Amino acid sequence: MEDLLANLQKLGFSQYESRAYVSLLQNPEVTAYELSRHSGIPPSKIYEVVERLLSKELVTTIGLGGHPKYVALDPVQAVSRYRRSYDQVLDSLESQLEHLYAGDKGSDAYVWNLVDRDDIETKAVDLVKAAESEILVAVWTSELAALEPHLAAADARGVSVAICLYGDADPGFGVVYNHVTDPVVLRDQGARRMVLVGDRGEALVGYYPEVGEVTAVWSASRGFVQMAYDYIRHDIWVVKLVRRFEIPINEVYGPTRERMRDIFHPEVPEVRVVRAPGGDAKRV
């Protein structure tokens, strides 16, 4: 019963109107005095409440004389009427608000902060569904599952999908670049990370720590989107370079490439001595 009263109040009914209407559904053909007694509404308020229900076309009167009786109209018809009315209002409101929103030239600079895993997944799925030409994503296998069917559907409808996947899986669609997932990578990133860009028009960056709150930010800001786009591309470039030149890279930088990661100490160029046939030695 409390849920029913709460739902009526969400439609704009007052507490007394809600109680009176529900009471009339259960006790038809009652006088105002009887309705007051059944509903618990003070007698001093009952006539005012009934008048409001009459104006909303939810109640009618029967009988003549000074003591009319009140009857609730068919609730199915009443709800149907409310639904039509609200649909008309919402359609009009949507058009009016969209007109105002389209006039806001700074709207693409907004940044949304998301702190709920379900909300982050919903936003990611919406981004994938909206993409028409290309999707770039850098994601760990543990976070890929929620996106997988939607990325597959995007790929099937002709959207170019490139995935920098932290792990060894092969989802079977798009172009996949498997990135290593050793502890050094996780240490550098600070948490599992998901970066998603759709049509170079919007981007989502999510952080999934082992302990603590999952968070994400979304924006259509040009600078934010380009930064996310470049991040994914650079990760993919690294994967491609390591695939092609893994042996010499490991020889120079070690298997965990710590020297490559050390950006605050410049490299000393390797010095080689080359002696041209019949000529002097040269340092190169």
Per the listing, tokens 């919007």 go with 202
Are residues 153 and 252 both part of a single domain? yes
**Is 164 within 8 Å of 235 (Cβ atoms)?**
yes
Phi/psi of residue 217, nearest 5 degrees: -130, 140
Q: Are the C-beta atoms of residues 128 and 135 closer than 8 Å to each other?
A: yes
Look at the chain and count its residues. Answer: 284
Same domain, 128 and 191: yes
Q: pLDDT of the chain along its 284 residues, tens only? A: 788 888 888 888 899 999 998 999 898 888 888 999 999 999 999 999 989 988 888 888 887 666 788 888 888 888 888 888 888 888 888 888 777 665 545 556 678 899 888 999 999 999 999 999 999 999 999 999 999 999 999 999 999 999 999 989 899 999 999 998 877 777 787 889 999 999 999 999 999 988 889 999 999 999 999 999 999 999 999 999 988 998 888 888 877 777 777 778 777 666 555 566 665 555 55
Two tokens at 86? Answer: 């609200």
Q: Among positive and negative, which fits the CA dihedral 228, 233, 235, 236?
A: positive
Contact 21/58 with Cβ under 8 angstroms?
yes
Give the range of the structural domain holding residue 56, as residue numbers without chain letter: 2-74
113 in the same domain as 67 = no
Domain count, the chain: 2
Q: Under a CB-based contact definition with an 8 Å cutoff, are residues 127 and 196 in contact?
A: yes
Q: Are residues 58 and 197 in the same domain?
A: no
Tell me how far apart the alpha carbons of residues 155 and 149 are, in angstroms, rounded to a whole number.
10
Q: What is the CATH number of the domain that holds 37?
A: 1.10.10.10
CA–CA distance from 124 to each of 15, 118, 174, 224 (Å)?
40, 10, 17, 16
Is 283 part of a structural domain of the chain? no
By the 8 A CB rule, do 234 and 172 touch?
Answer: no
Answer whether residue 281 is part of any domain.
no
